[in-house]
Amino acid sequence: MLSRVAESIFWVSRYIERAENIARFIDVNVRLTLDVPMDIKLQWEPMINITGDREIFSQQYEVVDQDNVIEFLVFNRNYANSIITCVNNARENSRSVRAIIPTEMWQCLNEFHLFLVAPIAVGEAISSPSSFFSKIKNYSQLFVGIAETTMPHNEGWHFLRMGRLLERADKISRLLDVKYFIILPQVEYIGTAYDNIHWAALLRSASALDMYRKRYHEISPANILQFLLFNPDFPRSIKHCLRICDTSLHEISNTPVGNYSNEAERRLGILRSEVEYSDVSDIMRGGLHEYLDSFQEKLNNVGNAIYDSFFAARPPASLSIRKIYR
């Protein structure tokens, strides 16, 4: 498989997963405003902090409120991580590999894009946000389902799966980080009903509330961290994402599991080992924010190593080339 084809497929799934996660965060926050009336800025500012792009938002908007946050995260074409930009980028990457992906995948992405650029989309997002964001999640999940059932499970499919899982692990870590240090305005709220509502909202953002309750029955921060970080069977836990990503990476390189033949496999193997043998109590003692911040940095290094190992141009030794990241 050509490196440019592999890179396009990899980024298609990352963009779609990113769009779905943003839709999840906003949808849950809209519902949260009905359960916990509070200052508008405190309610919506975490949505910007999750993305890590607060500075970009501040340059374009003066007020943090529901309308501005939704416009920024969903419809702002000048913002690289907005839903409409992500879906458009996924569509353009898919266009370049039409010969590789099934027609059904292309049709799904095209319909997704047309839904977002329709004149009524902005009005629906404001007047009926739950319905609007449910459609975004459904389109994203439909795309994943079509890929699973129509695309040959060869190298291209493994790049597609790997991109989706790396993006998912990153967003779960950011969501946990924001909840623990930003959403809760005062320390005295910890352990109260107010706190429990926010933890339940966090689980809803990961579509994990029902499965969590079947396992643990009551809201407990330690159990929530255990579930979202280290549950090997839940498909949105960080441990599960890294395990499956590692499997796909070794399938692509044909390297036996437990060994490595490139920097991407080495870095992912190290990160996976750290997660496999981590413990919630140790993390809490050392600081959850510090753990998650370190994890995000190492996950970014894995992404850079994948770029270097599979996507980067390989010029002659006598030439140099500037590395370009997406």
Confidence class for position 2, pLDDT limits 50, 70, 90: confident
CA separation for the pair 164, 17 (Å, rounded): 6
Structure tokens at 280: 């919630």
**Same domain as 146, residue 222:** no
In a shared domain, residues 171 and 127 = no
How far apart, in whole angstroms, are the C-alpha atoms of residue 19 and residue 180? 23
Question: Is residue 317 in a domain?
Answer: no
Q: Tell whether the torsion through CA atoms of 283, 286, 288 and 291 is positive or negative.
A: negative
Say whether both 306 and 160 belong to one domain.
yes
Q: What is the mean pLDDT of residues 86-111?
A: 94
CA distances from 236 to 72, 120, 212 (A): 26, 32, 12
Give the closest residue to 140 by CA, choosing from 23, 5, 25, 236: 23
Q: In whole angstroms, how far apart are CA 77 and each of 17, 30, 53, 107?
A: 18, 22, 15, 22
Amino acid letter at 87? V
pLDDT band for position 182 (50/70/90)? low
pLDDT tens-digit map of 51-98? 888 889 999 998 888 889 999 999 999 999 999 999 999 999 999 999
Whether 118 and 240 share a structural domain: no
Question: Do you know the residue count of the chain?
Answer: 326
pTM (global) more than 0.95: no
> Which structural domain, as residue segments, surrounds residue 235?
156-312+322-326
Q: With pLDDT > 90 as the criterion, what percentage of the chain qualifies?
A: 65
147 CB neighbour count, 10 Å cutoff: 24
The pLDDT value given to residue 326: 44
DSSP code string of 151-197: S-SSHHHHHHHHHHHHHHHHHHHHHHHHIIIII---GGGTTSHHHHH
With cut-offs at 50, 70 and 90, classify the pLDDT of residue 36. low
User: Domain boundary residue among 100, 117, 151?
Assistant: 151
pLDDT for 240-272, tens place per residue?
999 999 999 999 999 988 889 999 999 999 999
Regarding whether 163 and 107 lie in a shared domain, the answer is no
Determine, yes or no, domain membership for 256.
Answer: yes
CA distances 200 to 212, 316, 325, Å, are 10, 54, 36
The pLDDT value recorded for residue 217 is 83
pLDDT at 240: 97
Q: How many domains does the chain have?
A: 2
Q: Please tell me which residue, 188 or 240, carries the higher pLDDT value.
A: 240
Are 181 and 293 within one domain? yes
Cβ contacts of 193 within 8 Å, gap of 6 or more: none
